Amino acid sequence: MERIIFNEDHHAFRASAKEYCDRSLVPRMEQFLEEKTIDRAAWLEAGKQGFLGLDVPEEYGGSSVGDYRFNAVFAEEVSKVSASLSSCFGIHYDCSAPYLVDLGTEEQKQRWLPRFCSGELVAAIGMTEPSGGSDLAALKTTAKKTDGGWILNGSKTFITNGDMADLTITAARTDPAKGAKGITLFAVEAGMDGFARGRKLDKVGQTESGTSELFFEDVFVPDENVLGEVDRGFIHMMERLAQERVGAAVSNIAHATQILAETIEYVKQRKAFGQPVGSFQYNKFLVAELVTKAEVTQAYVDNAIVAHDEDRLSAVDAAKVKWWSAQVQNEILDACVQLHGGYGYMNEYRVARAWRDARVTKIWAGSNEIMKELIGRDLGL
Amino acid sequence: MERIIFNEDHHAFRASAKEYCDRSLVPRMEQFLEEKTIDRAAWLEAGKQGFLGLDVPEEYGGSSVGDYRFNAVFAEEVSKVSASLSSCFGIHYDCSAPYLVDLGTEEQKQRWLPRFCSGELVAAIGMTEPSGGSDLAALKTTAKKTDGGWILNGSKTFITNGDMADLTITAARTDPAKGAKGITLFAVEAGMDGFARGRKLDKVGQTESGTSELFFEDVFVPDENVLGEVDRGFIHMMERLAQERVGAAVSNIAHATQILAETIEYVKQRKAFGQPVGSFQYNKFLVAELVTKAEVTQAYVDNAIVAHDEDRLSAVDAAKVKWWSAQVQNEILDACVQLHGGYGYMNEYRVARAWRDARVTKIWAGSNEIMKELIGRDLGL
Amino acid sequence: MERIIFNEDHHAFRASAKEYCDRSLVPRMEQFLEEKTIDRAAWLEAGKQGFLGLDVPEEYGGSSVGDYRFNAVFAEEVSKVSASLSSCFGIHYDCSAPYLVDLGTEEQKQRWLPRFCSGELVAAIGMTEPSGGSDLAALKTTAKKTDGGWILNGSKTFITNGDMADLTITAARTDPAKGAKGITLFAVEAGMDGFARGRKLDKVGQTESGTSELFFEDVFVPDENVLGEVDRGFIHMMERLAQERVGAAVSNIAHATQILAETIEYVKQRKAFGQPVGSFQYNKFLVAELVTKAEVTQAYVDNAIVAHDEDRLSAVDAAKVKWWSAQVQNEILDACVQLHGGYGYMNEYRVARAWRDARVTKIWAGSNEIMKELIGRDLGL
Amino acid sequence: MERIIFNEDHHAFRASAKEYCDRSLVPRMEQFLEEKTIDRAAWLEAGKQGFLGLDVPEEYGGSSVGDYRFNAVFAEEVSKVSASLSSCFGIHYDCSAPYLVDLGTEEQKQRWLPRFCSGELVAAIGMTEPSGGSDLAALKTTAKKTDGGWILNGSKTFITNGDMADLTITAARTDPAKGAKGITLFAVEAGMDGFARGRKLDKVGQTESGTSELFFEDVFVPDENVLGEVDRGFIHMMERLAQERVGAAVSNIAHATQILAETIEYVKQRKAFGQPVGSFQYNKFLVAELVTKAEVTQAYVDNAIVAHDEDRLSAVDAAKVKWWSAQVQNEILDACVQLHGGYGYMNEYRVARAWRDARVTKIWAGSNEIMKELIGRDLGL
Ligand SMILES: Cc1cc2nc3c(=O)[nH]c(=O)nc-3n(C[C@H](O)[C@H](O)[C@H](O)COP(=O)(O)OP(=O)(O)OC[C@H]3O[C@@H](n4cnc5c(N)ncnc54)[C@H](O)[C@@H]3O)c2cc1C
Ligand SMILES: Cc1cc2nc3c(=O)[nH]c(=O)nc-3n(C[C@H](O)[C@H](O)[C@H](O)COP(=O)(O)OP(=O)(O)OC[C@H]3O[C@@H](n4cnc5c(N)ncnc54)[C@H](O)[C@@H]3O)c2cc1C
Ligand SMILES: Cc1cc2nc3c(=O)[nH]c(=O)nc-3n(C[C@H](O)[C@H](O)[C@H](O)COP(=O)(O)OP(=O)(O)OC[C@H]3O[C@@H](n4cnc5c(N)ncnc54)[C@H](O)[C@@H]3O)c2cc1C
Ligand SMILES: Cc1cc2nc3c(=O)[nH]c(=O)nc-3n(C[C@H](O)[C@H](O)[C@H](O)COP(=O)(O)OP(=O)(O)OC[C@H]3O[C@@H](n4cnc5c(N)ncnc54)[C@H](O)[C@@H]3O)c2cc1C
């Protein structure tokens, strides 16, 4: 069914986003895959076209469009090229921006946001630790107060953009006795003494994104780098998870829809037993199911985009749209691989990489299980 | 997620529909179940409150609201009481009305519509025959031209409202040589010579609706009872299937959502091993999944309602929303039965009847397989 | 794949069981459905042919074949006719017999078993209560010691054969303080003062079996009717659940396999669009999947039969075969209904009743959730 | 449930196979993954222990055990280490051996089999071509008769062991007019003029196996290298597919069962919210389901092993066990990834690679769709 949430401005913006993708991303994909990271040039070009400052006020270099549909459009266009690139950019302009904009002091905003918008400063978010990601409140990285700042010790893992981030929003325990109420956010900057990155993690998919471990050994973080209120980091994170999750959902379904469209082309061309493989009724019905599933999911995601834009999207509804879209994305991609036969198993086929890329969406940004826990709890169960 | 397609008028109308249900339907359910049909009084009361003429111009006794959301609201409220009653009313005000209004001559409209709106005249649609429902174009009931009318011979089966219908829109073959292009619609009226009803069919569910076989033995149907153009009956039907299917979808999801809500109450109350059965994590996650599925589906159905209201709903999109909603409804209800334990298997529990009622939605109004065929074909497969 | 667990003796026994079904059950099905119970004649005829005493030593009128395959064969043949009848007989010869034989005193065995084998005495098992079936240890029916016996108070529900049972193995709490260790089994006999049956429950399916509530109001049960050890009833039940569950599994898959075979015949005959509906590739693949699933499940059930016969079937393995077979049975039957189109929704079609009948197998004899709990616990989770 | 098809000899053989795996394979895994192939040493060591000649008569260096259970045991042990290695060895000792042994002339057997058994000569099977794998009969590689031999032209793709094979059983069209009846098998040997290998294909998984394209440009293959009868190659292949498929099934389930066992260990150790993640009921039930599914499938595979051993396994039953085991394997592994959280997405975790490895089993050796086609056809649909 036709989508109805976009107007002319969004369409024009989409054209520009697509143009960016075709120019800056598509031709460099091989390089990204090889180097297991996006290069700086692509960030700078995105910055130049204004994609990185959508949520940032104009005075700090952004465009502050104040319409979440634009965020969604950019995410969709990048996802069509690569779910992985979408996650890297998303962590920056969609997930990190609200932290810096809402929680940052005037001084911090002036210090970071212009370069954040231009793509000179790449952001990351460091919550997960080797000992656990689901139970965020149990994190072990500590920050001890000292003169003029804090001393951080501990480590993070699975951090998107972690290999290159100039600024990592890092959650650390500032009060061991207070559980979730003793966590604070710090902006850890590249080059700080005692801060080190592990190797780029070798992942099942999303090869073109740099995911790393981060190590903090007596890292001194000055008071000026505390983000938001001391001991309120957990709440700061909770409040921003809805945007992270609706953003994830936008990418999930855009990615699946794109690969599905390519698969439909494939099964129209590919022949077996003298007929297109897509014309065998089993495959035809399968594709009909997938197309329906994608559209149904898109309808829900679109509702979520609009609700989030109007500040009506609850954390629980964000959880719903996150897990569902991840589940559907994976179902669609698994079927798309199958429809490609042996070629679906070859990495040079986009569908093969897409399938590997998609697998993580049921795990990250709060695993699907954690989403169901939130929903169930909200129902009073 | 909050639904956003309704305004104050719809809410007011919903209150009125609910009031009707509570007054006219709920207290009579046992009787309907016993007699395997809705009684006339309920029809007349619905007529009096204006629910039966939503699609009928005011000059013929209707309200011609011209906003499909009202049709949807009525379907939803009735479905919450009984999917079966919703199907009986739906066949009348939602499926049959467009035939009479769009295809009827001025004389026909004056003859039938006022009583159609008041509930004095109950309508049915007779397409399916014992030899087949999916392949509509292969129907075998014949209509031979004679002086001043046509002679019908053949039979129909599985006809909703068939046990009581005063007027049955009946598809018959007027030109045996022309396949789908040789079918014409006739308004067969109760009491016509040679027209007989079989017994009420004993169904798996939907017990409170009268479903019957119809027999035509040399039934003379006057020319004045031809509906639409001779030999164009197939196209007339195809053009109206979208409304039938979106209407079915509206009921499907409203029904499932209601029973799910009741089930959530149940699993909060019912205890095992000292805790509410809904609080066991497996059940909690299951319910979280069901709620998500229901909401996702509702988003899509709502899009379809609006699209249909704006004349943008294609036959193919109607097929999508029909099969998907039927599938989800059945998945939800099966889980709801399970969550009730042994009580879910007892007919006095609403969930038990709901489960039986729902099973047919994957079969009727074009089986889910036929829907997938349409979608696949539309994709060029 | 060919089944390999049976030899000539089993084949001969199967022929005899089939002959019984064709003669005693098939012709009376309409009557059973009407009366919502099996009549006595069918019990007596089963007794005469020796089907009810398979687990009973010869000295008490049984055949004590000591080979569980025979139990399985009888269950399979009856299940092909009706899952419901199989459950009624199963509760008697397969589930109750071990209680009476293993736990009964010499006097009890002489008192009950001959009539048990002849079909004059029909047995039932009363564990579940209105307040809960899953948490057996929480049962509330009490038995207070008195002179020469016990006074029972409480009620049971969902009791198979409850409408007619001459002897109901009834679990009651003899020591309120000791939880699972304070439960005792009593043989409650028809006609005992204060013992009453509720109406036959109106079920979703399994219409031909009499399922009832049972009420105990100051029922005096003499000491001679205590089954097994006082306060060890829970363990007595646990030890016999494996046989109940493997027996359920045998019926589940036999029932599904039979209806599937009938459905395959149907889809070969039934035509749409000029070809058998089973020849459409989607349906063809679906049937291929169902046949595979049925065979895979049969292989596992057969392993369980042999293991149980050799006393190697653990309670946990019985749980696996129970839940899995129930799940598969329901999946198969749902698809079989769909393949029948509208006729699948008509009670006069066996597939329609079979679908309704099957639904309970995921709930009773320990719900599938309880089975998963047992399995998970056994894995150390 | 306990497996019952093995005796002491099989257990002893299993110990020896396991010892081989631990010594020759496990320590070299990193190397194999790096080099995208198994090295020769591992082949030779397998040969030395007699694993490669299980189906080869003793006179040609094999052990001709004549008991398929041994083939299964070796496949299982290797699969526990790596599904990919199992496929490489399987193509050799399990799939290729029957071609050489049954179809080979005395001279051919003496020429090839001793080195085949010792591991000096590695075999591959070349059926699939870039233009299609499912429709084997449509293959395009041609063999034109010439003096003393044949001239082959064309190409093959996705050939397991293709990167290193010394002998490739190659299907080519010898009579273009006769479709399936004009195909012949040739033993193409490494070093033949005009025979070339493409690069090792970059696959989604199974990284440690060398899969290649093969090119034939005017390759002269002497008459002495024709395998079996001219123009009967298609039938030769069909007759051997059952063994290939049951062999695939054996690996599929052994692989899944092993990773599942490792996952169970993981979820017992890994904690979140203060408890093992496997102890959350949702995960506990999930694991219970997976364990059941694995055991059910094993029962069926075991039946197939025995049936094949006794020459009773039909091509259709082999199709059933192939598709089902592949489906279950993939379901299990997807869940195992999820249970590992973020670590499940890291290639250094076995579960991550296992998940990628497994994906191909639904595609190769006849895709699951082709299996369902065969089964459906066999049912007369
Ligand atoms: C490619 C990639 C990129 C990532 N990027 C980032 C990033 O940029 N920043 C960041 O901070 N993190 C990032 N993550 C981490 C991610 O958010 C975590 O992996 C995720 O939250 C799960 O945590 P875990 O891996 O520790 O799994 P665990 O918490 O160990 O969970 C293991 C399993 O247990 C389940 N489980 C846990 N609790 C429950 C429960 N209560 N009930 C039922 N099941 C439960 C989980 O769902 C999972 O299946 C990334 C991860 C990946 C793989
Ligand atoms: C309770 C009830 C109420 C109904 N009310 C009405 C009514 O008011 N008016 C009316 O006209 N009809 C009514 N129907 C009929 C209904 O529309 C038909 O049952 C339905 O269209 C299916 O037709 P059939 O039963 O003949 O199945 P068949 O056409 O025989 O189909 C049998 C099976 O084959 C499948 N199949 C058919 N063609 C294909 C294909 N090309 N590819 C793959 N699979 C295929 C079907 O999906 C189905 O699973 C009602 C039915 C029921 C059960
Ligand atoms: C037709 C029929 C015949 C029967 N025959 C007999 C008979 O002959 N004798 C007899 O004694 N009983 C009989 N039963 C009863 C049957 O065994 C129970 O219905 C069954 O054990 C479930 O108990 P319940 O209905 O009280 O459900 P509840 O215990 O109330 O369970 C409700 C739901 O909660 C789930 N649940 C419960 N505990 C947990 C948990 N720990 N974790 C997750 N989920 C959980 C259940 O699986 C179920 O889905 C029969 C039932 C039926 C319907
Ligand atoms: C890692 C790997 C190793 C392999 N090893 C070997 C080897 O050693 N030797 C060898 O010869 N081959 C090998 N193969 C090839 C494998 O057997 C083929 O990939 C497989 O048979 C499918 O063929 P295809 O890739 O051409 O898919 P296609 O035939 O193009 O099929 C595409 C899709 O259409 C479906 N389809 C085809 N026909 C029908 C139909 N009638 N009805 C419904 N759906 C249909 C297929 O199931 C598939 O989903 C290997 C493949 C891989 C990936």
- Residue range A323-336: mean pLDDT, rounded: 98
Q: What is the model's pLDDT at position C368? A: 98
Local confidence band at D377 (pLDDT 50, 70, 90 cut-offs): very high
Task: Please give the pLDDT value at position A132.
Answer: 93
Q: Of B208, B244, B289, B348, which one is the catalytic site residue?
A: B244
At C209 the three-state DSSP class reads: coil
- What separation in angstroms does the CA of A178 have from each of A146, A173, A183, A232? 19, 9, 8, 11
| Domain membership flag for residue D132 | yes
Could you please report the per-residue DSSP string of C7-30?
Answer: -HHHHHHHHHHHHHIIIIIGGGHH
Annotated catalytic residue, options D8, D244, D265, D289: D244
Residue nearest to atom 23 of ligand 2 (CA): B133
- What's the DSSP call for residue C226? E
Tell me how far apart the alpha carbons of residues A96 and A79 are, in angstroms, rounded to a whole number: 18
φ/ψ (deg, to 5) at B361: -70, -20
* Overall average pLDDT of the A333-355 stretch: 98
Q: Is residue B168 part of a domain?
A: yes
Residue B1 maps to a domain: no
The answer on B273 and B224 residing in a single domain is no
In this structure, the answer to whether residues D47 and D117 fall within a common structural domain is yes
A88 and A115 in a single domain? The answer is yes
Nearest residue to D135 via CA among A273, B312, A147, B380: A273
Distance D370 CA to ligand 4 centre (A): 9
How many helices (H) and strands (E) chain A has is answered by 12, 10
Q: Taking residues C344-369, what's their average pLDDT? A: 98
Q: Is A209's C-beta closer than 6 angstroms to any atom of ligand 1?
A: no
Domain endpoint, select from B121, B150, B184: B121
- Name beta bridge partners: C350: none
CA dihedral C16, C20, C21, C23 (to 10 degrees): 130
Give the Cα separation of C37 and C209 in Å (integer).
5
Do D40 and D150 belong to one domain?
Answer: no
Q: Which of C70, C96, C121 is the last residue of a domain?
A: C121
Chains with 3+ CB–CB pairs under 8 A to A are: B, C, D
Mutate to test the pocket of ligand 2, among B128, B131, B139 (most ligand atoms within 8 A of CB): B128
User: What domain range is D268 assigned to?
Assistant: 235-378
Ordered DSSP codes for D330-373: HHHHHHHHHHTGGGGGBTTSHHHHHHHHHGGGGTSSS-HHHHHH
b/e code B20-38 from CB counts within 10 Å (16+ = b): bbeebbeebbeebeeebbb
Domain-ending residue, one of A201, A216, A231: A231
Contact C342 B128 (CB under 8 A): yes
Size of chain A in residues: 381
- The whole-number pLDDT of residue D64 equals 87
Together in a domain, C159 and C220? yes
Asked if residue B299 lies in contact with residue A1, where contact means CB atoms within 8 angstroms, the answer is: no
Residue B275 Cβ contacting ligand 3 at under 6 Å: no
For residue range C171-229, list pLDDT tens digits in order. 999 999 999 999 999 999 999 999 999 999 999 999 999 999 999 999 999 999 999 99
Q: From the alpha carbon of C209, which atom of ligand 3 is closest?
A: 1
For residue range A202-237, what is the model confidence (pLDDT) as tens digits?
999 999 999 999 999 999 999 999 999 999 999 999
- Which residue's CA is the closest to the ligand 2 atom numbered 24? B133
Neighbours of B155 (CB within 10 A): 18
Look at ligand 2, atom 2, and give the residue with the nearest C-alpha: B158
Q: What is the pLDDT of residue D70?
A: 98
Q: What is the mean pLDDT of chain A?
A: 97
What's the rounded Cα separation, in Å, for the pair C52 and C46?
6
For B63-99, the pLDDT digits (tens) are 988 999 999 999 999 999 999 999 999 999 999 999 9
CA–CA dist B300, C361 (Å, integer): 34
State whether B321 and B363 are in the same domain: yes
Contact B132 C202 (CB under 8 A): no
HSE, side-chain direction, 13 A CA sphere, residue A152: 35
Q: What is the mean pLDDT of residues A116-137?
A: 97
Asked if D159 and D222 sit in the same domain, the reply is: yes
ipTM above 0.85, yes or no: yes
Q: Which residues of chain D lie closer than 8 angstroms to C367, CB-CB?
A: none
Phi and psi (nearest 5°) for A172?
Answer: -140, 155
Give CA–CA dist A139/A126, Å, rounded. 11
Q: What is the CATH number of the domain that holds C135?
A: 2.40.110.10
Two tokens, residue D363: 């595609």
Of A50, A56, A54, A46, the residue nearest A20 (C-alpha): A46
Q: Does B217 share its domain with B250?
A: no
Of the candidates C316, C239, C246, C220, which has an alpha carbon nearest to the alpha carbon of residue C69? C246
Chains sharing 3 or more CB pairs under 8 A with chain C: A, B, D
Mean pLDDT of A120-125: 98
- What is the A244 CA–ligand 1 centroid distance (Å)? 14
Q: How far is the CA of D61 from the centre of ligand 2 (A)?
A: 63
Tokens 């104009």, residue?
Answer: A58
> What's the whole-number average pLDDT of chain D?
97
Are residue C41 and residue C62 in the same domain, yes or no? Answer: yes
Secondary structure letter of residue C362 according to DSSP: G
User: What per-residue confidence (pLDDT) applies to D148?
Assistant: 98
Cα B158 to the center of its chain, rounded Å: 13
Residue B282 φ/ψ region, left for φ over 0, alpha for ψ in the -120 to 50 degree band, beta for the rest: alpha
Beta-sheet pairing, A123-126 with A167-173? parallel
d(CA C62, CA C50): 7
* Same domain (yes/no): A250, A373: yes
Band of the pLDDT at A64, cuts 50, 70, 90? confident
- Read off the pLDDT of residues A158-190 as tens digits, 9 standing for 90 and up: 999 999 999 999 999 999 999 999 999 999 999
DSSP D106-138: HHHHHHHHHHHHHTSS-EEEE--BTTBSS-GGG
For D143-177, write each residue's pLDDT tens digit: 999 999 999 999 999 999 999 999 999 999 999 99
Tokens of B6: 């309704």
CATH of the domain at A84: 1.10.540.10
In this prediction, what percent of chain C has a pLDDT beyond 90? 99
- Confirm whether D191 is domain-assigned: yes
pLDDT at D44: 98
Residues A376 and A378: their CA atoms lie apart, in Å, by 5
Gap between the Cα atoms of C81 and C33, Å rounded? 13
Residue D315 and residue C207: Cα distance in Å, rounded?
A: 42
CA B124 to chain centre: 10
Is residue B134 a part of any domain in this protein?
yes
Could you tell me if residue A62 is inside a domain?
yes
CA distance A150 to A142: 9
Handedness of CA D322, D328, D331, D337 (dihedral sign): negative
Does residue A363 sit at the B interface (CB-CB below 8 Å)?
no
Q: For chain B, which residues score pLDDT lower than 70?
A: none
Total domains present in chain B: 3
CATH number of the domain encompassing residue B328? 1.20.140.10
Q: Which amino acid is at B185?
A: L
pLDDT in tens, D230-261: 999 999 999 999 999 999 999 999 999 999 99
Counting from 1 in the atom list of ligand 1, the atom nearest the Cα of D346 is 53
Q: What are phi and psi of B234, to 5 degrees?
A: -65, -45
- DSSP assignment letter at C381: -
Q: Are residue A227 and residue A275 in the same domain, yes or no? A: no
Residue D299 near residue C3 (C-beta atoms within 8 A): no
D210: Cα separation from own chain's centroid: 13
Identify all chain A residues contacting B264, using CB atoms and an 8 Å cutoff: 379-381
Q: Return the structure tokens found at D352.
A: 């991550």
Judgement on whether residues D168 and D300 belong to the same structural domain of the protein: no
Q: Is B244 an annotated catalytic residue?
A: yes
DSSP 3-state percent helix, strand, coil across chain A (nearest 5): 60, 15, 25
- Residue D3 in any domain: the answer is no
Identify whether C3 is part of a domain.
no
